[in-house]
Amino acid sequence: MPVIWLIDAYRAGERGQVRALVEALGWPCEIKVLSYHRRVFLPHVLGQATLRGVTAESAATLRPPWPDLVVSCGVRNEPVCRWIRAQSGGRTRYVHVGRPWGSLDSFDLVITTPQYRVPPRPNVVNNMLTLHSVTPQRLTLARSEWAAAFANLPRPHFAVIVGGNSGPFTLGPKAASRLARQASRLAREHGGSLLVSTSARTSEVAVDALQANIDAPNYFYRWQDAGTANPYLGILAWADRLIVTGDSIAMLSEACATGKLVQMFDLGGMRGGSPADTDFRLGGALYTALMCWLWQPLSRDITLAHKQLRESGRAVWLDEEFAHAMMPAESDMQRAVTAVRGLLAEV
């Protein structure tokens, strides 16, 4: 059985992806949680293989015997994983999930998604959606756990999964109000209700505007860091159709995993034009300039993911209709697991 180290991601979304991958592999895994020096950035900028970017305490946890496989995500972990591979004499295989910052030949395998514009290579798996842990088994359990919470709401249930600002796109009070009106109208037309979940990235002003403009029967979850149970999986399980803000490919990926109808909400500008009620954000305007004028690898373009989802029949925009969801014969997770297993077979 191979020895696997997971150099844990330091962002929640990326952490979920790498943990889901090692779980799907089905082998025991040792998780290494590192601490970093804030002002040390040259190792990952220059593509080095070094531990200079991590604290001495973290470096002390990285000792032989070296693993057969190291899995990670995030630019700060790249020099660390290259160092581990070098210490093993090149025997350790390095799998990177998400955006690669170093040259592609510095990885044994990259598992990525369209918004990062990674060119095709033999060591690159370009998935349509991100890796996640939303499985039929977890949805079945969540359906049972949340049955009482949604029992009195009329069917069909329309999930409304809400993210936040992302790159050039802004989810402010105008976009949130527009989402509330469109989702409410859809629920009323079908005699149904809304199951709404905000997230850690949803601003308070957007949450307030969203809740104030909903005029259909609803269950509304205002995200909290702790203290209350999060109904997110229950909402995915009980929804008959899902409406997801287009800022998060992770949320879109989890929605598509249910096999139900998924509609994307355009925050404004995601399809080229912008509705009159679009929120302005200086950071969003600067990001747009970055995408247009500076080095492309510094930015991500989530509209490339939107395009592939529509072309594949996996999702449409909220103002569009489609008959049924298209499910691929092989999931993105299955493709990733097959690629990783093939990599280890070469050891």
- DSSP states of 77-99: GHHHHHHHHHHTTT-SEEEEES-
Does position 298 have pLDDT exceeding 90, yes or no?
A: no
Does position 305 have pLDDT exceeding 80, yes or no?
A: yes
Does position 155 have pLDDT exceeding 80, yes or no?
A: yes
Q: How far apart are CA 118 and CA 140, in angstroms?
A: 35
The mean pLDDT of 18-29, rounded to a whole number, is 95
Give the sign of the dihedral formed by CA 311, CA 101, CA 296, CA 9.
Answer: positive
Q: What are the Cα distances from residue 62, in Å, to 4, 49, 56, 247, 290?
A: 13, 14, 10, 36, 37
Q: Which CATH number covers residue 295?
A: 3.40.50
Asked if 236 and 153 sit in the same domain, the reply is yes
Whether the upstream peptide bond of residue 156 has omega within 30° of 0, thus cis, is yes
Asked if 18 and 156 sit in the same domain, the reply is no
Tell me what pLDDT residue 293 has: 66
Asked if 173 and 266 sit in the same domain, the reply is yes
Q: How far apart are CA 160 and CA 243, in angstroms?
A: 5
Confidence of residue 321 (pLDDT cuts 50, 70, 90): confident
Residue 176 is encoded by which pair of tokens?
Answer: 């949130």
Residue 61 is encoded by which pair of tokens?
Answer: 């946890």
Tell me what pLDDT residue 297 has: 61
Asked if 153 and 298 sit in the same domain, the reply is yes
Tell me what pLDDT residue 347 has: 60
pLDDT in tens, 104-130: 999 999 999 999 999 999 999 999 999
Does position 41 have pLDDT exceeding 70, yes or no?
A: yes
Adjacency order of strands within the sheet including 124-126:
30-32, 4-7, 69-72, 93-97, 109-112, 124-126
Q: How far apart are CA 201 and CA 48, in angstroms?
A: 33
The mean pLDDT of 1-26, rounded to a whole number, is 93
Does position 295 have pLDDT exceeding 60, yes or no?
A: no
Tell me what pLDDT residue 30 has: 96
Tell me what pLDDT residue 278 has: 83
The mean pLDDT of 17-28, rounded to a whole number, is 95
Domain that holds residue 26: 4-128+333-345
Tell me what pLDDT residue 316 has: 95
Tell me what pLDDT residue 124 has: 98
Residue 309 is encoded by which pair of tokens?
Answer: 């989802």
Does position 4 have pLDDT exceeding 90, yes or no?
A: yes
Rg (CA), the chain: 21
Asked if 96 and 205 sit in the same domain, the reply is no
Q: Bridge partners of 243?
A: 160, 263
Q: How far apart are CA 164 and CA 245, in angstroms?
A: 8
The total of structural domains in the chain comes to 2
Tell me what pLDDT residue 296 has: 60
Q: How far apart are CA 291 and CA 298, in angstroms?
A: 8
Tell me what pLDDT residue 327 has: 76
Instruction: Compute the 3-state secondary structure of the chain and give helix, strand, coil in percent, each to the nearest 5.
Output: 40, 15, 45
27: helix, strand or coil: coil
For the ranges 52-66, 221-235, 277-291, the lowest mean pLDDT is seen at: 277-291
Asked if 261 and 194 sit in the same domain, the reply is yes
Confidence of residue 291 (pLDDT cuts 50, 70, 90): low
More confident residue, 280 or 295: 280
Asked if 304 and 247 sit in the same domain, the reply is yes
Does position 62 have pLDDT exceeding 60, yes or no?
A: yes
Q: How far apart are CA 27 and CA 11, in angstroms?
A: 23
Confidence of residue 92 (pLDDT cuts 50, 70, 90): very high
Tell me what pLDDT residue 86 has: 97
Asked if 123 and 162 sit in the same domain, the reply is no
Asked if 147 and 94 sit in the same domain, the reply is no
Averaged pLDDT score across all residues of the chain: 92
Answer whether 10's CB lies under 8 Å from 33's CB.
no
